[in-house]
Amino acid sequence: MNYVTGYYTTRFGELWDKSLFDLVEEAMRGVLKQNNLENKQIDAVFFGNMLAGVLENNLHTTSKIAEILKVNIPIFRSESACASGGVAFNLAKAYLEANPNKNVMIVGAEKMTDYSPEETITGLSAAASGEEQEAGLTFSGLYAMIANFYLEKYHYTEKNLAHVSVKNHFHGTLNDKAHFRRTITSDQVLKSPYVAYPLKVLDSSPISDGASAVIMTNNLGVVKKQKYSVSVLASEVATDTISLKERKNIDEILSTKIAGNLAFKKAKINRSEINVAELHDCFSIAELLAMEDLGFWKKGEAGKKIIEQSTMFGNGGDLIVNTSGGLKASGHPVGATGIKQIGEIFLQLTGQAEKRQIKNAKYGLAQNVGGSGGTSVVTILGI
C-alpha cells in the first residue's frame, strides 16, 4: 500500500513577487518540513506543470528542481494540460509500486500572471487540437460549446450553472489559501460579462499562480513516524480524443467515466461511501458533468440537483464537493491543481481542514481533467 503523509500548498492567487521556482521551492520545503524529512530522504520527485515550456521557455524544469534540492535523484515532469498534477501523482504511485521502501515527492506548480491574459490564454489553448486553435476556439470556448449543448438538451438555463460558482465561492471563504475568499450571489454570476457564451467570468476558474506538494511513501517505517497518513486506494488515468468534435457524446467526459469506474473497482468501495470530493470545476458546467460522469448523479440531472445545494458545506449532505473552493474560488494554477485536490482530501480525511472540516470523512475522491476532457485522473484516498 502507498500512503500520503504530508501536504503543503502555497497561497493561490496573483503572486507577483514570486517566480515559478520560488513557488516550487516553497511547496517542496513546506512539505518536507511537515514530514520532518531531509532532502536526501526523498528518492524521486514528480513535477506536474503545463506552461513552463510555452511561457517561460523552460523545458528542463526537472534539473532546476535538482538544483534547488541539491540532489541527484531521478526527477520527472508530467504534462497533460490541466491534468498534469494528477498524472504526476499517478506516475509517482506507479514508481512506488516498482520500488519498495521509497519516499517520493509530487509537486505541481504554475506561474500564469506574468503575462497578458491573451498570452496566457494562447498558452492554455495548447491543450486543444490544432483545428480548434485555428477556428479561434479557446479553452473556455470548448467548455462553452459543451455547456450550450447540455443546456439545450436538458432544457436548463445559465441560472442552473450559476449555483456551482455560488457554492464554491462560499467554500473559498473557508480556505485561507484560496485565490478568492468572498461569497457571490447567483445574480452576480448572471450579470458578469461573457467569456465565451453561455459561460461568464463568474462561471470560470481564474488565472492563478501557485504550487502544491505531497509526500507519498511505501516505507512503513516512515509512515509510523508521521502524525497523519492516508491510504492511496486508487489512482486511475484515462484518455480520449483531444478534439471535442471527435467524441460520440458532447455532454459527457468519457475519460472521467472510464477513470472513475476503474478507480471505484480498484478501491473496492461504492460511490455512496465517498464523503468528500474535489472535482475539476474549471468552468461551472464541468462540475455538473463530473457529478454525472462519476455516477454520483444521473445523466442530465445535475442541472436540477445543483439547485438543492446538497453538496455545499454545512447543508448536511452525504457528499460535499470542492471544500477547497474548487478551481473556481481556490484558483487554478494549472499544474498545481491536481495536487491541491489530493491535498485537500488528505486534510479532510486527517481532520486538518479547519473551518471547512467535514465530520467523520473516511473516503475522498479527486478528479483532475486535462483540456476539454482528453485526459482524466481519478484518485481515491481512504483513512
Partner 1 sequence: MISPVKIWRRQKEIRKVLGKKGKILTWTKIFTPGSDFKKYAPYPVVLVKLENKEKIYGQLVDCEEKNLKIGQEVISVLRKVRASSEEGVIAYGIKFKPMK
Residues forming contacts to partner 1 in the complex (CB under 8 A) are 116-119, 121-122, 125, 131-138, 140-141, 144-146, 148-149, 152, 193-199, 244-246, 250
Minimum CB separation of residue 197 from partner 1 in Å reads: 4
Among 169, 171, 280, 332, the active-site one is: 332
| Nearest distance from C-beta of residue 350 to partner 1, angstroms | 39
Q: Which is nearer to partner 1, 117 or 314 (CB)?
A: 117
The C-alpha angle 129, 12, 336, rounded to 5 degrees, equals 45
4/196 with CB nearer partner 1: 196
Torsion of CA 15, 18, 19, 20, to 10 degrees: -60
Minimum Å distance from CB 53 to partner 1? Answer: 12
Give phi and psi for 320, each to the nearest 5.
-105, 135
CB of 47 to partner 1, least distance (A): 25
Contact between 105 and 77 under an 8 Å Cβ cutoff? The reply is: no
Of 248 and 359, which CB lies nearer to partner 1 in the complex structure?
248
Contact, 85 vs 335, CB < 8 A?
yes
Query: Cα(205)–Cα(219) distance, rounded to whole angstroms?
Result: 37
Helix (H) or strand (E) holding 107: strand 103-110
CB of 208 to partner 1, least distance (A): 16
**Residue 291 Cβ vs partner 1, minimum distance, rounded to whole Å:** 21
State whether residue 374 is helix, strand or coil: coil
- Which C-beta is closer to partner 1: that of 91 or that of 128? 128
Order of strands, edge to edge, in the sheet holding 44-48?
A: 75-78, 44-48, 103-110, 210-217, 3-9, 230-239, 375-382, 363-370, 276-278, 320-321
Residue number, 146 or 339, with CB nearest to partner 1: 146
Task: State the DSSP H helix or E strand holding residue 190, giving kind and residue range, or none if neither.
Answer: helix 186-191
Q: Does residue 14 sit in helix, strand or coil?
A: coil
Catalytic-residue membership of 82: yes
Please give the grid coordinates belonging to residue 325: 473552493
CB of 209 to partner 1, least distance (A): 19
C-alpha 8/C-alpha 339 separation (Å) is 10
Continuous segment of H or E residues that includes residue 323: none
Count CA within 13 A, CB hemisphere, residue 9.
34
Task: Give 125 or 341: the residue with its C-beta nearer to partner 1.
Answer: 125
Please list, in sequence order, all residues whose beta carbon lies within 8 angstroms of the beta carbon of residue 310, skipping any fewer than 6 positions away. Answer: 316, 317, 318, 319
Q: Which of 60, 82, 169, 171 is catalytic?
A: 82
Given the complex with partner 1, which of 125 and 186 has the nearer CB atom? 125
Query: Is 155 designated active site?
Result: no
**Enzyme catalytic residues:** 82, 332
